[in-house]
Amino acid sequence: MILIVDDKPENLFSLKTLLQLNLYDVDTAASGEEALKKILKIEYELIILDVQMPGMDGYEVAEIITGYSKSKDIPIIFLSAVNIDKRFITKGYTSGGVDYVTKPFDPDLLLLKIKTFSKLYRQTKELNDIKNNLEQKVEERTAELKQANKNLEASNAELQQYAFIASHDLQEPLRKIITFTRIIEERFLENTPEVKEYLDKIISSSVRMRTLINDLLNYSRISIEPVFVFANLTNLINQALADLEVSILEKKAHFQINNLPVIEVVPEQITQVFQNIISNALKFSKKDIEPVITITGELVQRKSAESKPAVNGNYCRITITDNGIGFDEMYIEKIFSMFQRLHGKAEYKGTGIGLSIAKKIIENHNGIITAKSKENEGSTFIIVLPVKQTAAQAKAPVN
């Protein structure tokens, strides 16, 4: 609907007829005041405003229309017989008009202008509607996401608690199975080796179960808020070696460790990583060949196993090489997954969780871990860790 405002009825009539002939809905007002009353009630797509009117002139009306939020975007075309000076035309634009047409006007051109401005107005309205709609949808989605996140956090905390309690409560009866089975063996079965054999199987399964529960417990504990401090990697390695003392002596293993840098880590966790990898190196050593394990560290440019060394690099690459039985690289994904083993239980003991714990810890440190190997030709484990943990990284939760 278009509104024509003019105090002269003959102008209103002629313009109205022109527009109606071109299939527009038209409304009229004989004064600024009447126009304003109508604008409050009806939504127009365009207003044609005569400038010279008694009472309020066109400029005043325009200023009021553009000041009112519901009508501020409605295009206003000024019509004027006089006042064709530049400053009047300027005034027309500055009071909110989009066009200033002087009489006599060309009806064809006026119609074209009306068509264009109407279209523009409709498009602007559509855009605004879409915008509001989008904003609302984004708000809804954000609220949904926030809630989902809250739920996940709660569920996570519950699961960790569950893992902790389950493992604790499971350990208790297990301990008794082991203890009393051993008592039966010692006290009553000294002379019946076959029965003893069966009982041994019960005991070894129970011991294995206990180890599994312990490993699961350790794995579930890793994600708890990490506390990073600067630590000397060489010291952490030595600690891991101390924990593996018995095994090292047994296998007569030799170590070559070159000076590793100081980086920001959770010390107990990184010691655990070293322990797990070195323990594997000892376990999977070649029969009758003394294990030789080399550990080196250097600063590198990027977080990648192949990155070039850089004196002031932001990452530290740690390489642990052994001369053991190695593995086929096609199993690389498998060795880092939980409970996946490449050898039977009888050949090599272990639960198969050591490397997946190492991987989880390294990921918790925003680093990467990978390995290279060939069957019978030893293995190399490569870890790349950031030298410094930024505040954002330190807080980022890792599943």
Partner 1 sequence: MTKALSFLLVDDDSDDTSLFKEVLEEVNSSIIFNSAEDGQQAIQFLKSRTNELPDVIFLDLNMPKMGGKECLTQIKKDEHLHKIPVIMYTTSSQSKDIEETMQKGAICFITKPTNIKELKNILASIAGSVHNNLEKTLRNLSNTINTFMVC
| Residues at the site binding partner 1, with contacts judged by CB under 8 A | 171-172, 175-176, 178-180, 182-183, 186
Residue 291: cis peptide before it, omega within 30 degrees of 0: no
Minimum distance of partner 1 from residue 163's CB (angstroms) = 15
Minimum distance of partner 1 from residue 175's CB (angstroms) = 6
Our CB check for partner 1 shows the closer of 182 and 196 to be 182
Task: Provide the strand spans (E) within the chain.
Answer: 2-5, 26-29, 46-50, 76-80, 99-102, 229-232, 254-257, 262-265, 292-300, 315-321, 368-373, 379-386
Alpha helices by DSSP H, listed for 284-347, are 332-335
Sheet of 99-102, strand order = 26-29, 2-5, 46-50, 76-80, 99-102
Minimum distance of partner 1 from residue 187's CB (angstroms) = 8
Cβ-based burial of 147 (10 A; exposed 0-12, middle 13-18, buried ≥19):
exposed
Minimum distance of partner 1 from residue 207's CB (angstroms) = 9
Minimum distance of partner 1 from residue 166's CB (angstroms) = 15
Strand duo 315-321 + 379-386: pairing? antiparallel
Our CB check for partner 1 shows the closer of 28 and 269 to be 269
Our CB check for partner 1 shows the closer of 177 and 394 to be 177
Minimum distance of partner 1 from residue 186's CB (angstroms) = 6
Minimum distance of partner 1 from residue 194's CB (angstroms) = 22
Smallest CA-to-CA distance from 278 within 306, 220, 319, 316 is with 319
Our CB check for partner 1 shows the closer of 239 and 294 to be 239
The residue written with tokens 């109407």 in the block is 118
Our CB check for partner 1 shows the closer of 187 and 287 to be 187
Our CB check for partner 1 shows the closer of 220 and 321 to be 220
Distance CA 50, CA 59 (A): 9
Our CB check for partner 1 shows the closer of 152 and 195 to be 195
**Under the phi-then-psi rule, with left for phi > 0, alpha for psi from -120 to 50, and beta for the rest, what region is 378?**
left
